Every structure is written in C-alpha cells, then in structure tokens.
Amino acid sequence: MIWGMLIAAGIGAVQLVLTWYAVHISVKENRVRNAVIIGIVGFIGIALTIYGAIRSGTTQLKLESDISELKKGQQTANAGIKQIETTPPTVTVNPQINVNPTQNGPVLSASVVLDAIASSYEGQAIAGGKAISIQTMFVPGQRIQQNIYFRNAGNLRAENVATFGKVYIVTSETEAELIKQYKKDLIAAHLTSGGTMDAAGGSSGVWMTAVSDRAATGDDPTKLADGIERLYIFASVTYRDQHQKHHLHLCRLLQAPDRAALEHGGQEAIWHFCDDFSDAN
C-alpha cells in the first residue's frame, strides 16, 4: 500500500510541474499569482490522489484478508469431510421405548369358551328303517332344556365361575327385543360365583342348563320347520383369574329343522350365531 501511495504522489507531482511549466512559458503577466493558484490546486489534486490510493489499498487488503479466511474455512471443511469419510461419527440416541411385558412371552389369562350344546332329553328316530336313539329338546309338556358345556382354553385357572342361560321360543319378537329381555333375566338371576376351572390341559369344565319359560308342545317342531316359530338359546359365564375379571356371552339361533327328518322322529340341532350378543373379554 505504501508503494501505491508513493507512486500516486509522484504522478501528482509530475502533473503539477508540467502544469506549472506550461503556464510559465505561455503566460507573461501575473506569473506569481498563477503559480500560487496552480500550486494550491495541484497540492489538492495530489492529496486526493493519495487519499484515493489509500482507500483503494485498504479495500484491497480487506479483500485479500477475506479471501484468506475463505481459503482457511474451505481447508477446514475439506479436512472435516475427509475425517468423516475415513472415520464415520458415532451417534448415541436414547429414545423412550415402552415395552408391553406380554410381548416377551404368551399372554397369561383364563379364557372360558363354549365346547358343546346338547339336548337334555332322549328320543327315537328312524334311520335306515331302524329306530335309533337321539337327543331331543322337544318333549310335550316339558320345558325345553339345553345342556351347555364350557371349558377353560386359557393358561391360568378360572375362579369364581358363575353361569346362567335361557331358551326362548318366539314368533314375532325381534332378536334385539330378545337380547333386551335376556339382560333383564340375567340381572334378576343374581348369579352366585363359586366354581373353578383348571387351565388348558386340565380335566375340569362346567356344565349348565338353559331352560325355557314355557313347556314344549307337539306342534313346536312343525312350526319351527315352517318358520312360524324361532328358537334361541342365550348363555353367560362370569369368572376371574389372578389378574382380572372376565365374561362370556353367547346367543345362538336354531336352524329350522327339516320336515322330512321330523317325520322320522327328528334330527340333530344345528345352531347359528346371532347378529349380536356374542362377545368375550
């Protein structure tokens, strides 16, 4: 920057001398006054030229400093990239993980399930020209009864087991109306808990009997076959294991019996799931 200032001052001085000499040889009058004016203006020009050189030099130095810093930053970045390529960083993360304890093994719970439905009475039917014994639910003058067997399919013992069931033979009532009526009957039954059921693999189960309110008639099988009547069976089981309480509700609709089979004494019952009230926890 100093050399720039000296060069600028030299150029200004040369221009001043040339200007003064040109005026001196061309003007004869008032040479002193003109020389003073030329000197003042010349020195102002030299000062401005030097100032411009200083500003230009300062700007140049700052630019060179910025370029130097950029080069240093680029060198640092290149070194960091090279280090990452040769030695990848290790990131340690400590997320919160909620683990369900049952994920590490089988769910421990009692689970009571329906195993069988059987009629309480025995009747006779004709098969192949021979009379055979079958289970029947229709004995005129007797209330309709259905035996239901429950077993524990879970891996914990079921305790405080209580059961209740009802048979309904209806004509115009809807399934929703029957469910509402059964819930009322279930509350009124005041179940008493006390039975136990071994875990899966054990030999213990529970039989219960669902009974109708009215006795069967000799016309019931024919009316069921013709769709005039419908027969439903409802049952409930409440129990608990060492962790919590459980329940099982079921609703089944008897498939309309075949008239040809009825003429030979009857047929085995076929049950269908209801649209609702079949759940367990």
Res 126: pLDDT? 56
Q: DSSP H helical segments within 27-96, as ranges?
A: 31-86
According to DSSP, the residues that pair with 253 across neighbouring strands are 232, 272
Measure the CA dihedral 124/128/130/136, to 10°.
-10
Res 241: pLDDT? 94
Res 195: pLDDT? 85
Distance CA 30, CA 178 (A): 135
Distance CA 164, CA 181 (A): 14
Res 261: pLDDT? 65
Res 53: pLDDT? 67
Quote the tokens at residue 116.
């069988």
Distance CA 69, CA 66 (A): 5
CB atoms within 10 A of CB 210: 23
Each of the 281 residues of the chain gets a pLDDT tens digit; together they read 666 667 666 776 777 676 666 666 766 666 677 667 777 877 787 777 777 767 776 777 777 777 777 677 666 766 666 666 666 666 565 656 555 545 566 778 999 999 999 887 776 555 566 666 667 788 899 999 999 999 999 999 999 999 999 999 999 999 999 999 999 999 998 777 778 999 887 777 889 999 999 999 989 988 999 999 999 999 999 999 999 999 999 999 999 888 766 655 556 778 999 988 888 88
| CB hemisphere CA count around 261 (13 angstroms) | 13
Task: List the one residue out of 221, 222, 268, 264 whose CA is nearest residue 127.
Answer: 264
pLDDT, tens only, 69-102: 767 766 676 666 666 666 666 656 565 655 554 5
Distance CA 213, CA 168 (A): 7
**Whole-model pTM over 0.85:** no
Quote the tokens at residue 233.
């069976």
